[in-house]
Amino acid sequence: MKVGACGTFVCALASVVLTAALAACGTPRRDEPLVGPFTTADGRLQRGRVSFDRYCYKCHGEGEGALGPGMNHLPLPRAMMRMQVRVGLGAMPSFKPDELSDAELDEILDYLVALRRHGR
């Protein structure tokens, strides 16, 4: 069962680490009016951005959190984000390759990494 996979202890520990990470990494907000437009001539990033808005935006906003957690301020490795997307741990649903191709996922991750640095 996906839901409740994290026990209270793990959550408490995670909260401590998360708080430290939040303090270390600042706000997750990358809104254009706040930090300027995210502009790029890189086709991969442009495609990743479009795919992100199609698949991810509804729950994560532009990486700042919404229904689900924010990501822009967390030092999440690509491998972890890839696993989260493919396996769908917790409340987050999984995205299988027939729904989100490996190429699309790679471009989304490229975009997320670039977005994390944007405006910093």
Q: Which stretches of the chain bind other proteins, using CB under 8 A?
A: 3-8, 10-11, 13-15, 17-18, 21, 26-27, 29, 31-34, 36-37, 49-50, 53-54, 57-59, 61-62, 64-70, 74-77, 80, 83-84, 89-93
CA dihedral 5, 8, 13, 18 (to 10 degrees): 70
Q: Residue 112 CB, nearest distance to other proteins (Å)?
A: 13
Q: Residue 72 CB, nearest distance to other proteins (Å)?
A: 12
Q: Count CA within 13 A, CB hemisphere, residue 95.
A: 20
63: left (phi over 0), alpha (psi -120 to 50) or beta: left
Choose between 7 and 117: whose C-beta lies nearer to other proteins: 7
Q: Residue 106 CB, nearest distance to other proteins (Å)?
A: 19
Contact assessment for residue 30 and residue 119, using Cβ atoms and an 8 Å cutoff: yes
Q: Residue 40 CB, nearest distance to other proteins (Å)?
A: 13
Both tokens of 118, joined, read 């944007």
DSSP 29: -
Choose between 53 and 102: whose C-beta lies nearer to other proteins: 53
